[in-house]
A and B are shown apart, each in its own frame.
Chain A
Amino acid sequence: MTPLNPVSRKYAGVQLIGSAIGWAVFLLCLIAAAVCGIIFDLTWLMILGFALAGACLVAAAIEAIIVVRQVRALGYLEREHDLLVQRGIMFRSTTVVPYGRLQYVEVSAGPLLRAAGLATITLHTASASTDASLPGLPRAEAEALRDSVAARGGARLAGL
């Protein structure tokens, strides 16, 4: 099979920043608790705070590795009659969306994604369970993909 088109490497960075913000808030709270423990001479609070903060750092590191691997595993392929979207390493899934089944296509981008010049493209079929979203494509590529997919959808239009 032809190799899949990967998403932008920058998307891993975006994901990392996003999760780092979440972890940082958590970590600050824990460190604040630990500092309180030092100030008020509560040894248990200090130990607990630092221990949890350490655990937090480890968890964040693991998540970072997973996120980077997940982003590498994302890929898509425009085939003759359908679009193939692949994701996941642990929970691997491949989705085939025939162009003729497309109802509409959505291109969206959150603030972080947009700052990195990326976008998410989502293909919607009449089935609610189809999760054919592809995050982290460069904006131009996402728009080109949307246009080409929409054009093919129009050409191969099928009824429900």
Chain B
Amino acid sequence: MPEQPHHAPRAAAHGAPTGDSAGWRHVHRLTPVLRGGAGLLAALGAVVVILFQNLQSVLEDLVVEGLGGPGRDTSGFGVFRLLPTLIREHPIITLAVIGVLLVVLAVIIVCLWLSWRFTRFRIDSTGVYLRTGVLARRERSASHDRVQSVDISLPFIPRLLGLASLVFDVAGGSDSDITISYLKRSQAEALREEILGHLRSGRREGIPAHPQSPAHQQDTARAQGTAADAEVPGTSVGTATSATAPTPPDGHAPSTVPSDVPTAPLGQRLLTRRAQELQSHAAATVDDLSASLRDLLAPYRLNPTAGEEGRLLRVPFHRLLGSALLSTTVLVSAVFVVGLLAGIVVVGIFVSPRALVTTVFAVIPGVLALVGVLRSEMGLANFTVALTQDGLRVSHGLASTTNRIIPLDRIQAVKLRQPLLWRTAGWWRAEFTIASEGSDGDTQQNVLLPVGSVDDVMLMLGLCLPDPRPHGTDARSLVLAGMLGPAAGGPEAQVAEPFYRGRPRSSRWVDPVTWKRNAHALTGTLSLIRSGRLSRVLEFVPHARVQALTLSEGPVQRRLGVSTIALHISPGPIAPHFVHLPTAEAQHLFHQHAHVTRAARIELDAHTQGSTPERKASS
């Protein structure tokens, strides 16, 4: 292991408990105290104080009895002054109490020391490793190319002591960070430099595999207009990306700075060619933009035009209001309120008018729920979508406007939903999942289009998804069949219905309501998953975005001869499943889809590396 020499003696001196001391380093000695040990000590202190204060009078009584005279001392910690007397009079009890307290203190200190001793980390040329735990031991490791960003975090109290933690952001669930805390601030900074150094050397190894030299690539990129410029801002703007990615202070070689940013898997360009085409045009004239838009949306048989500043569509206020009023939540609370009012009237008439007064208050929660839903929906008022260099710019809000950039190449999946009452109006809502570290609870973050017609929705699909490449039918029919099918939908949708793979009749026992609508279709680049009977749902998952697959089967399913395949994608509002497929078909599809997704991924990566200079070639 290539190890900096001045750390090595330190690790050796402390002697790692398991003996494999190669490169393992310890965190700062105060760490366990700062991470909870302080609380433990404070608790012990509090116990001691309370014990002494409460016992004081008892002890005094004891002592006073022992001394056989007056002379009470009620001030503060008189117990300490009484201690000698106490020891003389009741030596065993007093010493036992003090002894127990000392033992507890010692145990705490030993625990803290052990915790420190067993917390070790190692950073080498391949990755970062963190070991924790005395009894239950954990070892986490991530290779450098998986680290999205390296941050130095300075919590308040450690900061006062000049300590910092080093946070390695790795994509994944909520606790997917690897946090090394605490280190001396200078040490943390040095380590970060060291890691950036490893990243740099890793990249350098990767570059010769590239057909072009970096400088040449930059020239080509510049020749492509704004396309390359979009790469860098696209990683620092928007909801999804890590704005904390540090840029190393590498002033003497400015041309290599972009390749040093350790945000390894940045936006991978699913739409690469098209998006860049679009993006370069976005800066150019609107006519050009419309032309490439037409090109992009041809599979969906749409002919959109972009307005000024690349604006594509705007949701009219009356439509949003209408859709909010027709949403299921509002409907349920309205029915609840009306029902309650009716009940109150009945009670008022038949039982006693007096009961009426009190029960009126029962309506208030219903009304509040209604108002709450309407208010949150109004947050999506004035929803406007525009195409910019960095992706889609979405702005919405009634009183205060929220602007967001959705990097199109980071979209992992799209979901269309139509609540029951939107059917007559033909409205749909589109949501998406994006590759991002923290998907917080804000559901409005994931709205691609709050409400729109079929054509509006298809426009968004064309922008967010790769070219669908359907076999034997056209994308528009396929999507329509997915949205409206199997029974409803015009002839256009019926054409594509055979391309949907339905579910066996036996699945009605596990899914009585939706089994007829449950279906999926596979195209060259996408899985379309149709579900939902009353509230229709259609999910789109690009093959290249599938992380892992699970085939599962419960006891009831086994009796019915069906299995379910789950497609794992980044956390978000979409959890795609191929539910209740016949077992044999499911097993076949499971293994086949593993290959299909792998191939799609390779294609995507080839695409990405061909066009993104700062990506390391997969060696």
The chain A residues found within 8 Å of chain B, CB to CB, are 81-82, 90-98, 100-111, 114, 124-132, 146, 150, 153-160
Q: Are A129 and B568 in contact (CB under 8 A)?
A: yes
Task: Give the distance to chain B from A134, nearest Cβ to Cβ, in Å.
Answer: 14
Task: Give the distance to chain A from B49, nearest Cβ to Cβ, in Å.
Answer: 34
Given contact pairs A126-B172, A156-B618, enumerate 12 new A-B contacts (beta carbons under 8 Å): A82-B594, A90-B555, A92-B558, A94-B550, A103-B176, A106-B139, A125-B547, A125-B568, A129-B575, A150-B141, A158-B605, A160-B412
Stretch with Cβ within 8 A of A (4 or more), from B142-150, B320-328, B358-366: B142-150
Q: Are A127 and B569 in contact (CB under 8 A)?
A: yes
Residues in chain B near residue A150, CB distance under 8 A: 126-127, 141, 143
Q: Are B140 and A125 in contact (CB under 8 A)?
A: no
Residues in chain A near residue B135, CB distance under 8 A: 110-111, 114
> In this assembly, does B601 line the interface, its C-beta being within 8 Å of a C-beta of chain A?
yes
Q: Are B618 and A155 in contact (CB under 8 A)?
A: yes
Q: Given the known inter-chain contacts A91-B552, A128-B571, please indicate yes or no for A98 contacting B598, CB distance below 8 A.
A: yes
Q: Are B570 and A160 in contact (CB under 8 A)?
A: yes
Q: Are A96 and B137 in contact (CB under 8 A)?
A: no
Residues in chain A near residue B268, CB distance under 8 A: 159-160
Alpha-carbon distance between A96 and B591 when the two chains are bound, in angstroms? 9
Residues in chain B near residue A153, CB distance under 8 A: 143
Q: Given the known inter-chain contacts A108-B138, A111-B135, A159-B608, please indicate yes or no for A96 contacting B170, CB distance below 8 A.
A: no
> In this assembly, does B447 line the interface, its C-beta being within 8 Å of a C-beta of chain A?
no
8 tightest A-B contacts by CB?
Answer: A128-B173, A159-B268, A127-B568, A104-B142, A93-B552, A160-B435, A125-B547, A127-B547
Task: Give the distance to chain B from A94, nearest Cβ to Cβ, in Å.
Answer: 5
Which chain A residue has the least Cβ–Cβ distance from B268?
A159
Q: Please pick, from B126, B141, B435, B549, the residue contacting A104 in the complex, using a CB distance under 8 A.
A: B141
Which chain A residue has the least Cβ–Cβ distance from B433?
A127
Q: Are B136 and A126 in contact (CB under 8 A)?
A: no
Alpha-carbon distance between A59 and B489 when the two chains are bound, in angstroms? 54
Residues in chain A near residue B146, CB distance under 8 A: 102-104
Q: Are B570 and A126 in contact (CB under 8 A)?
A: yes
> In this assembly, does B496 line the interface, its C-beta being within 8 Å of a C-beta of chain A?
no
Q: Are B141 and A91 in contact (CB under 8 A)?
A: no
Alpha-carbon distance between A66 and B598 when the two chains are bound, in angstroms? 36
Task: Give the distance to chain A from B558, nearest Cβ to Cβ, in Å.
Answer: 8
Q: Are A91 and B553 in contact (CB under 8 A)?
A: yes
Residues in chain B near residue A146, CB distance under 8 A: 141
> In this assembly, does B165 line the interface, its C-beta being within 8 Å of a C-beta of chain A?
no
Residues in chain B near residue A81, CB distance under 8 A: 594, 598
Alpha-carbon distance between A94 and B146 when the two chains are bound, in angstroms? 25
Q: B580-604: contact bitstring with A at CB < 8 Å (1 yes, 0 no)?
A: 0000000000100010011001101
Alpha-carbon distance between A92 and B564 when the two chains are bound, in angstroms? 11
Q: Are A96 and B141 in contact (CB under 8 A)?
A: no
Most B C-beta atoms less than 10 A away, residue of A97, A103, A150, A155: A103
Q: Please pick, from A109, A125, A126, A127, the residue contacting B137 in the complex, using a CB distance under 8 A.
A: A109
B498-557: which have CB < 8 Å to A? Answer: 545, 547-555
Task: Give the distance to chain A from B595, nearest Cβ to Cβ, in Å.
Answer: 8
Q: Are B139 and A107 in contact (CB under 8 A)?
A: yes
Q: Are A105 and B597 in contact (CB under 8 A)?
A: no
Q: Are A106 and B141 in contact (CB under 8 A)?
A: yes
Residues in chain A near residue B435, CB distance under 8 A: 126, 160
Residues in chain B near residue A114, CB distance under 8 A: 135, 137
Residues in chain B near residue A102, CB distance under 8 A: 146
Q: Please pick, from B171, B178, B552, B594, the residue contacting A96 in the complex, using a CB distance under 8 A.
A: B594
Q: Are B555 and A103 in contact (CB under 8 A)?
A: no
Q: Please pick, from B142, B551, B594, the residue contacting A98 in the complex, using a CB distance under 8 A.
A: B594
Which chain B residue has the least Cβ–Cβ distance from A106?
B140
Residues in chain A near residue B192, CB distance under 8 A: none
> In this assembly, does B429 line the interface, its C-beta being within 8 Å of a C-beta of chain A?
no
Q: Given the known inter-chain contacts A129-B575, A154-B143, A158-B618, please indicate yes or no for A101 contacting B136, CB distance below 8 A.
A: no
Task: Give the distance to chain B from A33, nearest Cβ to Cβ, in Å.
Answer: 31
> In this assembly, does B26 line the interface, its C-beta being within 8 Å of a C-beta of chain A?
no
Q: Are A91 and B554 in contact (CB under 8 A)?
A: yes
Residues in chain A near residue B143, CB distance under 8 A: 104, 150, 153-154
User: 30 A-B contacts, Cβ less than 8 Å apart?
Assistant: A95-B548, A95-B550, A95-B551, A97-B548, A98-B547, A100-B601, A101-B548, A103-B146, A103-B176, A104-B146, A104-B176, A107-B139, A108-B137, A108-B138, A110-B136, A111-B136, A114-B137, A124-B173, A126-B435, A127-B172, A127-B568, A132-B548, A154-B126, A154-B143, A158-B604, A160-B171, A160-B265, A160-B410, A160-B412, A160-B570
Q: Are B173 and A154 in contact (CB under 8 A)?
A: no
Q: Please pick, from B138, B140, B176, B549, the residue contacting A95 in the complex, using a CB distance under 8 A.
A: B549
> In this assembly, does B54 line the interface, its C-beta being within 8 Å of a C-beta of chain A?
no
Q: Are B176 and A124 in contact (CB under 8 A)?
A: yes
Which chain A residue has the least Cβ–Cβ distance from B174?
A128
Which chain A residue has the least Cβ–Cβ distance from B569?
A127
